[in-house]
């Protein structure tokens, strides 16, 4: 019965324009096909294409490594890492799949964040946290006074 149900779901999904994984197929799908985006004259020659792939991999590796270095240092670390992944995605299917998954997860998170219940909860938590921090700072100032670490009068 499960195989029959799965087969019916597959047929229904194809009729509705979605695949079994839930991805949109057909003309409504705006995603580019997977695979190399190298120029045709490079793809036609195997040694040239292989050296192209090595060059793209090394350039992407340098960008991703720079992003990893920027994580603890000042700079847009995650943005640079995703830029390196996008560079890899011009040539490698695995990177294209990772970027598609990441885009899907970011879109889902954005939709969840815009949900009125979630927004209300986040606003309540933020206000509560700010009130608690304000009360603690007020108690500290009341108990120890407000002393600046520098001496202006001297």
Look at residue 26 in the predicted model and tell me its pLDDT: 47
User: What DSSP string describes 58-116?
Assistant: HHHHHHHHHHHHHTTSSS-HHHHHHHHHHHHHTT-HHHHHHHHHHHHHHHHHHHHHTSH
- DSSP helix, strand, coil percent of the chain (3-state; round to 5): 70, 0, 25
pLDDT of 110 above 50: yes
**pLDDT-based confidence at residue 134 (cuts at 50, 70, 90):** very high
Q: Break the chain into its structural domains and give their ranges.
A: 31-114, 117-154
pLDDT in tens, 73-101: 888 888 898 889 888 888 888 888 888 89
Q: What is the mean pLDDT of residues 90-116?
A: 86
Report the C-alpha gap between 53 and 138 in whole angstroms. Answer: 60
């Amino acid at each position: 019965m499960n195989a029959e149900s799965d087969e019916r779901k597959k047929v229904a999904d194809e009729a509705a324009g979605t695949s079994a994984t839930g991805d949109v197929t057909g003309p409504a799908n705006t995603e580019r096909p997977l695979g190399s985006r190298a120029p045709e004259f490079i793809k036609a020659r195997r040694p040239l294409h292989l050296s192209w792939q090595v060059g793209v991999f090394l350039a992407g590796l340098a960008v991703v490594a720079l992003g990893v270095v920027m994580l603890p240092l000042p700079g847009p670390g995650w943005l640079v890492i995703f830029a390196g992944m996008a560079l890899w995605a011009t040539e490698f299917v695995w990177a294209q799949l990772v970027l598609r998954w990441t885009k899907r997860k970011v879109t889902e998170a954005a939709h969840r964040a815009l949900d009125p219940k979630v927004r209300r909860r986040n606003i309540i938590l933020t206000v509560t946290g700010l009130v608690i921090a304000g009360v603690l700072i007020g108690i500290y100032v009341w108990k120890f006074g407000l002393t600046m670490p520098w001496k202006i009068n001297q």
